[in-house]
């Protein structure tokens, strides 16, 4: 039976992650996502996804060294970035820059070292382009800061606060991987042809660019801005519900209960109460929104999704909305490359069928 968009069709077996939308669970390599975000760093969870296990001290140090070593952009990619049209959107910039990697060193089969390199390059590409557009000098990558700290440092030129680093790191861990979504499927399809990892990653970036997949949570940002301006979360939210408006940042097409990523992100933000006004505001707005949604839409179970708190983090660290999907991409590169590696271990080329809906003619006729 045909399923449009392959909805509900099993396309692969994976040991990387598991999503249980009914129970509200997200599992990375056997570990609940909340346990990982409460105890481990971006680098440690990336190691888990790539190697299948959490690292010991020596393994972690080795991974950190490799990530740092690959942060610098090759001169030819800098040259390409310098000459791209300045009105080009950032996702297209990332796609173009990544596809410009020297594929001679990316043959079949893909390797973890290739995954590390691509993961290291994306934040640098984002920062190089962003500062170029703003007429600011490029900030060279640090050899001391962690992956997430370095990303914020290269964007702003300042060492980030602990609160901002922890908030963004938690978000990036939560978005490293999320099952067989559109971009991950795209990466695996390309890898299944025994193409190189650069090509597979480029396919994924092009898919993530689509607004139905990697769109920014502008509606949530607008909500937080309005609440701050009006000064009353209840007044703003009650007004929207009275007018029949959709409350952005609540509900999810996969999770039918609490979004485990939102739960984990909220737990981290609760540790940072008083550290940033936008993070505090998000907690206040969520509490009021959940109460009013239950009042106006009883039994609907509309819980906070990860985009709600992601928007709060973007406001807190003063990231332009144009950086949301690129930042998502910077973290998801880990998941994509983990799937590319997994695909290569038991590879079968993807070759689904289609249903022909055109005409059948008995003979060729030509109008005179």
Q: Provide the annotated active-site residues.
A: 252, 307
Residues contacting 22, CB < 8 A, separation 6+: 256, 257
The C-alpha torsion from 220 through 315 and 32 to 202, rounded to 10°, is: 90
User: Comparing C-alpha atoms, which of 18, 15, 276, 328 is closest to residue 160?
Assistant: 276
Residues listed for the chain? 368
Number of other CB atoms surrounding residue 182 within 10 Å:
16
267: left (phi over 0), alpha (psi -120 to 50) or beta: alpha
Helix (H, G, I), strand (E, B) or coil at 28: strand
Q: What is the Cα–Cα distance from 271 to 114, expressed in whole angstroms?
A: 35
Report the sign of the C-alpha dihedral through residues 50, 53, 59, 61, in that order: positive
């Amino acid at each position: 039976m045909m399923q449009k968009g392959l909805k509900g069709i099993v396309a692969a077996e994976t040991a990387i992650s598991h999503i249980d939308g009914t129970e509200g669970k997200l599992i990375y390599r056997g570990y609940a996502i909340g346990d990982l975000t409460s105890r481990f760093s971006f680098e440690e969870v990336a190691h888990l996804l790539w190697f299948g296990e959490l690292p010991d001290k020596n393994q972690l140090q080795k991974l950190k060294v490799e990530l740092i070593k690959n942060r610098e952009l090759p001169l030819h990619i800098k040259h390409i970035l310098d000459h791209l049209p300045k009105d080009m959107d950032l996702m297209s910039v990332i796609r173009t820059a990544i596809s410009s990697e020297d594929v001679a060193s990316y043959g079949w089969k893909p390797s973890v070292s290739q995954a590390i390199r691509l993961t290291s390059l994306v934040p640098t590409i984002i920062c190089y382009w962003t500062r170029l557009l703003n007429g600011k000098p490029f900030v060279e990558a640090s050899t001391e800061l962690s992956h997430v700290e370095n990303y914020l440092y290269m964007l702003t030129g300042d060492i980030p606060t602990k609160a901002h680093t922890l908030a963004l790191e938690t978000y990036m861990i939560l978005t490293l991987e999320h099952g067989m979504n559109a971009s991950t499927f795209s990466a695996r399809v390309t890898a299944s042809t025994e193409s190189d990892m650069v090509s597979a990653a480029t396919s994924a970036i092009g898919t993530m660019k689509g607004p139905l997949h990697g769109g920014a949570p502008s509606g949530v940002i607008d909500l937080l801005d309005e609440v701050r301006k009006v000064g009353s979360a209840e007044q703003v939210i009650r007004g929207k519900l009275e007018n029949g408006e959709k409350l952005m940042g609540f509900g999810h097409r996969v999770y039918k209960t609490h979004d485990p990523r939102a739960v984990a992100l909220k737990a981290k933000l609760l540790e940072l109460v008083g550290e940033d006004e936008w993070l505090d505001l998000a907690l206040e707005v969520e509490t009021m929104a959940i109460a009013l949604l239950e009042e106006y839409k009883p039994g609907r179970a509309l819980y906070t999704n990860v985009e709600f708190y992601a928007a709060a983090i973007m406001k807190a660290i003063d990231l332009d909305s144009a950086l949301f999907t690129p930042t998502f991409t910077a973290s998801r590169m880990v998941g994509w490359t983990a799937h590319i590696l997994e695909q290569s271990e038991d590879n079968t080329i993807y070759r689904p069928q289609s249903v022909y809906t055109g005409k059948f003619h008995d003979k060729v006729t030509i109008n005179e």
